[in-house]
Structure 1
């Protein structure tokens, strides 16, 4: 029998029907996310419309029971793990594309729509939604919004927060709210929809999103620049982002990432490459060659080994497929992985890479860097054997130093993964006490009883 209050159990069973689950085996499927953390919820709710979400939040508030929103569990920081028990609200059944309006360049969707399914539906209209995380094929729009997901295209088109116009949500009070408007301009009150994006389900549960769409570029070309070492590649990133042409993608790989892309991902890369930049430009057929020339000039410089075009679309797809295979490929180096996505100003990337390499030597652990260099957002992967207590302790100590390094360089703790459980303790290092106090006041306004995703994002 569920440990939830009997009255709450009866009320939500009546509201949700077969969308109310209390069997331990069924609850287990919603106990973890991609952080590999786990905690069993007291129940799972599978709503199909916003009225059920309103009723659920109101009932849980009345009984002071935690409510944890969930997409498909691809988050890497533990943000979807129900550490305080309570009810996990999975939006997998609220997965309808409600409208695609090409003339307004917007789409209206429910939170359970998969990113990849949305892109497929938009393509016949010549449109796309810019956020493209590695998990796009199986992560939800709601989850993307909750963590402000980005991906390679964010360097030119922005992350989730930059591509949402309006949100329908249910606050921790149980009240339905509407934030923003389906227009690209608006100056009417506070910008609450951008506040909710990246809030990790701690302020409200998103039940509908009006998304800002972008026309598909008619043409694109990819470049592959190989460098002698990571320092040369990092300096090239700063040059690329200092000139007028903005690449549509700019990805960085260190030497170990290059080797994995070649050996595991199947990319055609020479063994002597010490670092690599994948650079892409998009636009119309007339201006694209000029953009590519400008990017090639910026990529050239001391330490460049070779730079070439991906010969055709198939070659381009193979290169990007190898990049997307990197994160799971790291498991071939060590069974344990801490994957953090720190951000620094683009001009400070050389110092970040140098500092991370120094930490790898100091702590005697492999640390692999790759990611969205055009935003200064690198994925720093600390690899270790969890069965070795010494390695685990060194990995945790090195992680704290990585965060301290990023902050010292004028950066921050996360670009797209969010805070969740993994970085919560470090938040006071990144945000001053008066600002944290203001954030807590905002949390209290949206969720006065603290039932929404407790224990996440904001430190005690």
Structure 2
């Protein structure tokens, strides 16, 4: 559907006025995301209230027109591309922080609130919301909910799903539903809150969320550990995660990443086979003990050096190496396939060894870095998109990466979601009966299949 029917156009014009757009510029702008994919919708709807969302869904259902929910378009999996045309629903106008309750530690927000804006609003209360994806400053809470976003702090504080108390949403039949509560314990009925989080807009459109907040730590401390090889670093991760002082961040770089960060990003890192960036938080009384305990766990066979950051300036210098990676990757190749696979921590060496073997076999730079504490590594396959042979090799390497991940007891995505990029690999990740159950859930909440069709399920 590349143009709306006159009846639907009139109905949505009456409902949304200037916030129903069918001009070519708007359709193109809202038809693409960070995955570099695009498709033109029939129109773009920018509702401002829950009631408008309900009316919008009911109108599209009556006309059998697809609806694709959109946050800020930071998805790397094509999750918000309107491949079947229809209507893109942008929640940018529904961007209010409705309530911050510091006593019960929750915030009630609309889906268009930017993660970064939320954190700044919470800071005066000495509170924060833990999900911190790399796109936090520009990604919306609704987008974080849609893909169950994580980030470096997830090793201690969990991903989005672990930090939400309840949701209000509109199903594909246009019915408003509310799930969850204001309490941190709730054993009442089915857990629809966790079901909707991570469903990428295929089950319902989230119009409000009650978020669980945590106190801001008083202090932070950082360590940098260099190892001779990946196996030594992975063994250190296992030791660190086995002791009671959970780090607030535990990031990994392989040898290729270290070289890129040093030679291209200008980071001050000696040559090594692997690197761990470790952060812990606490107060003046507990932080020194936590750092000492984690440093003891990091120390072991294969350790080359262990450096600490005694103050904020030193800590910032340590973490600058991690932030230098993305710019460094862009200077190596204009094409990049970035997958966020997850394996058990003990299988990280096998994953990285397999990645290194694929890099040699396909004659492509493939580098791995990411959130080692929960086994979530970002594997970047770099290539020149103008080189047909390189592009083909990169696309051929991708299924090999997923097959390796699944063979190690891992999963396809830790925080980016499935979208269309990994949709067909869902058949490898789940048995047919499990996929059939997912389809049954989809049919119950979206009986006509109008919500983000063609995503997640193969």
Please give the range of the TM-score, normalised by the shorter of the 2 chains: over 0.9
Mapped partners of 1:189, 1:329: distance in 2: 49
Mapped partners of 1:26, 1:429: distance in 2: 37
Which residue does 1:62 correspond to in 2? 62
**How far 1:235 moved relative to its partner?**
2.4
Mapped partners of 1:238, 1:52: distance in 2: 50
**How far 1:245 moved relative to its partner?**
1.8
Which residue does 2:240 correspond to in 1? 240
1:340/1:380 contact within 8 Å kept: yes
Mapped partners of 1:321, 1:64: distance in 2: 50
Matched, 1:153 2:117: no
1:86 and 1:325, CA in 2 relative to 1: closer, same or farther beyond 3 A?
A: farther
Mapped partners of 1:262, 1:210: distance in 2: 42
Mapped partners of 2:259, 2:79: distance in 1: 32
- SS in structure 2 at match of 1:103: coil
Deviations 1:139-181 (A, max 9, x none): 0000000000000000000000000001011110011110111
TM-score (norm 2): 0.98
Output aligned runs, 1:122-271, within 5 Å: 122-270=122-270
Mapped partners of 1:68, 1:320: distance in 2: 37
- SS in structure 2 at match of 1:155: helix
Output aligned runs, 1:36-435, within 5 Å: 36-270=36-270, 272-435=271-434
1:71/1:143 contact within 8 Å kept: yes
Which residue does 1:442 correspond to in 2? 441
**How far 1:303 moved relative to its partner?**
1.7
**How far 1:411 moved relative to its partner?**
0.7
2:423/2:456 contact within 8 Å kept: yes
**How far 1:300 moved relative to its partner?**
1.2
Mapped partners of 2:2, 2:399: distance in 1: 39
2:268/2:321 contact within 8 Å kept: no
- SS in structure 2 at match of 1:315: helix
1:265 and 1:102, CA in 2 relative to 1: closer, same or farther beyond 3 A?
A: farther
Mapped partners of 1:51, 1:277: distance in 2: 49
Output aligned runs, 1:444-459, within 5 Å: 444-459=443-458
**How far 1:182 moved relative to its partner?**
1.0
2:343/2:411 contact within 8 Å kept: yes
**How far 1:353 moved relative to its partner?**
1.1
Mapped partners of 1:161, 1:60: distance in 2: 29
2:105/2:213 contact within 8 Å kept: yes
Q: How many residues align?
A: 458
2:337/2:380 contact within 8 Å kept: yes
Mapped partners of 2:350, 2:312: distance in 1: 34
**How far 1:311 moved relative to its partner?**
3.2
Deviations 1:273-309 (A, max 9, x none): 3321000111122121111111111111222111111
Mapped partners of 1:6, 1:192: distance in 2: 36
**How far 1:260 moved relative to its partner?**
2.9
Mapped partners of 2:36, 2:317: distance in 1: 29
Unmatched segments (≥5 aa) in structure 2? none
**How far 1:2 moved relative to its partner?**
6.8
1:405 and 1:283, CA in 2 relative to 1: closer, same or farther beyond 3 A?
A: same
Mapped partners of 1:148, 1:130: distance in 2: 12
Mapped partners of 1:179, 1:22: distance in 2: 34
Shifted more, 66-75 versus 358-367: the winner is 358-367
Deviations 1:208-253 (A, max 9, x none): 0000001111111010111223332222212222222211100001
**How far 1:200 moved relative to its partner?**
0.2
Mapped partners of 2:55, 2:165: distance in 1: 26
Unmatched segments (≥5 aa) in structure 1? none
Q: CA RMSD in A?
A: 1.3
Mapped partners of 1:363, 1:78: distance in 2: 25
TM-score (norm 1): 0.97
Mapped partners of 1:212, 1:346: distance in 2: 27
Shifted more, 285-294 versus 201-210: the winner is 285-294
1:263 and 1:108, CA in 2 relative to 1: closer, same or farther beyond 3 A?
A: farther
